[in-house]
Copies of this chain bind each other. A is one copy, B any other.
Amino acid sequence: MNQKDQVCQYKLLASRDALEVIQGKWRIPIIIALTHGTKRFGEIQRDISDISPKMLSQELKALEMNKIVKRTLHDTMPVTTEYSLTPLGESMTNLLNEILNWGIHFREEVLKRDN
């Protein structure tokens, strides 16, 4: 294996770690919603209008386990739950921006021409 191949193998490994966290229809949208500040369950649900409570609950749990999202219970009446990004979650800002930039670029280059 030459050096170029080794670099390629290393990149493939690192990308898999990131993909495991990113993968799925809802994780990135949830994280994007939370980059605009702390939000409650219902607020995220309203931002991402077509997510079901089941999926939102499930994906928030997964993100919490991966230490991307922090869940805070407030002992108010009625009990409210707040979700926010952890420092690790906030470290995704650059990644999210690149996804957005490329998404816009892709839409301009391909989608508008074809459809």
List residues of chain A with CB under 8 Å of any chain B CB: 4-5, 7-9, 11-12, 14-19, 21-23, 25, 28-29, 32-33, 36, 47-48, 66-67, 88, 91-92, 94-107, 109-111
Contact = CB atoms under 8 A, between A and B. Distances in A.
Given A14-B107, A100-B14, A107-B14, A33 B19 contact: no
A48 B84 CA distance: 36
Main secondary structure, interface of A, reads helix
Nearest to A5: B47
Contact of A94 (B88, B98, B109): B98
Given A67-B110, A109-B88, A25 B19 contact: yes
B14 A36 contact: no
